[in-house]
């Protein structure tokens, strides 16, 4: 379904992403790990067409999305949702409007600019918010919400897009452990229940081990590891994070509590 072929992005003389190639079949939960500056964000931004690639192809169902231009590129963006570290909502607009922004590309300019959303769209947005457990926040301004709630609004906007692929660029890096877990559990449920492919840039090994079906490790723009979470040994981690003496496993783990497997998680409760 997704084939990445030798995708490269140069910034001056430096390759931020260097001939990255891999293929994904089916709705996997794919994690990309690596240090800051390894090229993870640049890669996701190229997939969503926020950044242009220097060379290479990304084939989605046989179509090279990197070659799309203008309205075609925007149509691709509307099918390829993106979730950001800083949520990237419009802070002064209400939560439901922010969710409706997911379908900006599929409604007329007049409808969207003057907030004349069809009733069915508004109801769908409210349903999605309800599914994520934040329906009562719908009329509030996005800036009034906590970070964890804002990230769930961003996920709701992504679901509004009814996307083939959800890209998540460090979705939990600005969140506390509790909210981080809610957001990751939510993404995992969307992945499993809706059968949507999720590609998430993650900072930490333990999050990748816990949520991903498959992990890609990047270092200096190149893919240095591609395998299952079980194969992520300490040696492999050193390859990805660099072999300098300061490396230790603790430095790459955040505090998503590991002892919640027996209980139903918060996100389970909200979504059931």
Partner 1 sequence: MVDVAFGPEQGKRPDLSNTREAYLDMVRRKRMYGGILLVLFIALMSSGWMLADDRNAGGFWGGLHQVFDFPSEVLSEAWEKRANLPGIFIDHIPALIETINIAAVATLIGGVAAMALSLLATRGLARWPRLVPVFRRTLDALRAIPEIVIALVLIYILGGGPVPAVIAIALHTGGALGKLFSEVAENADPKPVEGLASVGATWSQRMWLGVIPQVAPNWLSYALLRFEINVRASAILGFVGEGGIGHDLKLAMQWGQGRYDQVVAIFLLLFLTIVLIDQMSDRYRHRLTKGKPA
Closest CA to 94 of 138, 136, 145: 138
Q: How far is the CB of 81 from partner 1 (least distance, A)?
A: 7
Looking up tokens 């139903």 gives: 264
- Kindly give the pairing relationship between strand 14-24 and strand 2-11: antiparallel
**Site residues (CB under 8 A) for partner 1, limited to 102-121:** 102-105, 109, 112-113
d(CA 130, CA 151): 15
> What tokens appear for 229 in the block?
């979470």
Structure tokens at 25: 């079949």
In the block, tokens 């969710």 appear at 99
Tell me the backbone φ, ψ of residue 171, rounded to 5 degrees.
Answer: -65, -20
Q: Is 89 in the site for partner 1 (CB under 8 A)?
A: yes
Distance, CA of 117 to CA of 115 (rounded, Å): 6
Within 10 angstroms of residue 14's Cβ, the number of other Cβ atoms is 11
Q: Which of 63, 67, 91, 192 binds partner 1 (CB under 8 A)?
A: 91
How near is the Cβ of 160 to partner 1 at its closest, in Å?
8
Binding mask 154-193 for partner 1 (x = CB under 8 A): x--x---x--------------------------------
Question: Shortest approach of partner 1 to residue 148 CB, angstroms?
Answer: 17
Based on the shown chain and the rule CB under 8 A, indicate whether residue 43 belongs to the binding site for partner 1: no
Distance from the Cα of residue 95 to its chain's centroid: 19
Min dist. Cβ of residue 72 to partner 1 (A): 10
Q: Out of 101, 164, 222, 238, name the contact with partner 1 by CB under 8 A.
A: 101
Residues numbered 58-87 forming contacts with partner 1, rule: CB under 8 A: 73-78, 81-82, 84, 86-87
Binding site for partner 1 (CB under 8 A): 48, 50, 73-78, 81-82, 84, 86-93, 101-105, 109, 112-113, 154, 157, 161, 245-246
């Amino acid at each position: 379904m997704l084939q990445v072929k030798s995708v490269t992005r140069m910034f001056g003389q430096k390759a931020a992403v260097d001939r990255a190639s891999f293929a994904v079949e089916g709705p996997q939960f794919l994690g990309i790990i690596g240090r800051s500056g390894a090229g993870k964000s640049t890669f996701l931004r190229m997939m969503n067409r926020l950044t242009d690639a220097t060379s290479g192809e990304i084939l989605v169902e046989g179509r090279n999305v990197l070659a799309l231009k203008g309205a075609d590129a925007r149509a691709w963006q509307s099918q390829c949702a993106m979730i950001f570290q800083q949520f990237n909502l419009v802070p002064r607009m209400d939560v439901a409007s922010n969710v409706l922004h997911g379908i900006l590309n599929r409604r007329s300019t007049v409808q969207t600019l003057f907030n004349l959303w069809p009733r069915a769209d508004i109801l769908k947005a409210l349903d999605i918010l309800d599914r994520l457990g934040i329906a009562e926040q719908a009329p509030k301004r996005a800036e009034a919400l906590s970070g964890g709630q804002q990230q769930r609004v961003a996920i709701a906007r992504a679901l509004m897009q009814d996307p083939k692929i959800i890209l998540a660029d460090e979705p939990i890096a600005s969140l506390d452990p509790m909210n981080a877990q809610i957001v990751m559990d939510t993404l995992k449920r969307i992945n499993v229940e809706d059968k949507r492919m999720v590609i998430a840039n993650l900072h930490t090994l333990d999050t990748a081990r816990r949520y991903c079906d498959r992990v890609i490790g990047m270092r200096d723009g190149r893919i240095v590891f591609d395998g299952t979470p079980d194969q992520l040994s300490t040696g492999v981690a050193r390859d990805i994070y660099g072999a300098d003496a300061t490396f230790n496993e603790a430095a790459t783990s955040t505090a998503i509590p590991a002892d919640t497997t027996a209980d139903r998680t918060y996100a389970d409760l909200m979504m059931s």
